[in-house]
Amino acid sequence: MQFVKTGEAKIPALGFGMFRMSEAEVEAVAPAALETGFRHFDTAQIYQNEAALGRALKVAGARRGDLFLTTKVWVSNYSAERFMASVDESLEKLGVDQVDLLLAHWPGDAVPVERQIEWLNEAQAAGRTRFIGVSNYNRSQLRAAISASAAPIVTNQIEMHPYLDQSAMAELARETGTALTAYYAMADGAVPGDALIREIAARHGKTAAQVGLRWLIQQGVVVLSKTAKPTRLAENFDIFDFTLTAADMAAIGGLARPEGRIVNPAGLAPAWEA
């Protein structure tokens, strides 16, 4: 397994994401993911499967020190009364005293970034998390978060795949020493069926899904893979034994298009170009 290092954080470059997975699916696939080699597991309060992940890892006999656990605070808990209490609820569901990474899930349009960061700092200072970060922040919000935070903002978790140009965010991440974490790497199923990516994959003896994940890994990005099918786990994990050429990387990057963004919920998402 490769790692992405940012400050004192050492994040497994390939993680397993729990978005849109039922508790039954999580309990079925998480032990198999652990057996495959996954150690980085990403969930969130709004996914409503933190407890299922905690149970699954416990049943599988996972050693806490071997895991990198991420969860996210939902926007309805962005208040002085609810933020820390909601984190404690997440820890109880996960069956741990501390997560490795705690994120503000969306910036939203109701609570200033500076307040969100203040509460994240308080959670870290209280020992609820080793590291803090954000998710779905635009560039100006990421700058504001870094400026407001007493602790490093180790990552910004964002939508990343070949059809969405995130080069400006990647440039800011390099400038500030912030890791990017990619979700929706398969672009809601478009990547595995893409003719160009399938052609590149065939030359490497890999699948299009593997090439899509590898394309992000080679950019130094933390990538969240996802499947509810244990039979697909080995495919998702087997991406560290080949290297895409510079021409491959450029060709895949050339698939970006203006309408490439998939996730853009009103009231949660920022003005992305800010």
**Model confidence pLDDT, tens digit, residues 178-194:** 999 999 999 999 999 99
pTM here is: 0.97
CATH class of 12-253: alpha beta
| Residue 105, annotated as binding a ligand | yes
Locate all alpha helices (DSSP H) within the chain, ordered by sequence.
Answer: 23-36, 50-59, 83-94, 113-125, 139-148, 167-176, 195-204, 208-217, 233-237, 246-253
CB neighbourhood size of 145 (10 A) = 24
Confidence at residue 274, expressed as pLDDT on a 0 to 100 scale: 85
Kindly state the average pLDDT of the residues 142-146: 98
The domain spans of the chain are 12-253
Per-chain mean pLDDT for the chain: 97
CA distances to 43, 52, 90 from 28, rounded to whole Å, are 15, 10, 20
CB neighbourhood size of 85 (10 A) = 11
Catalytic residue among 47, 163, 183, 184: 47
Reported as a pLDDT band with limits 50, 70 and 90, residue 81 is very high
Kindly state the average pLDDT of the residues 239-258: 98
Q: Is 233 helix (H, G, I), strand (E, B) or coil?
A: helix
Strands 14-17 and 40-42: parallel
CA distance 135 to 181: 9
Residue 47 known to be catalytic: yes
CA distances to 56, 68, 267 from 59, rounded to whole Å, are 5, 17, 38
CA distances to 136, 153, 205 from 263, rounded to whole Å, are 10, 22, 31
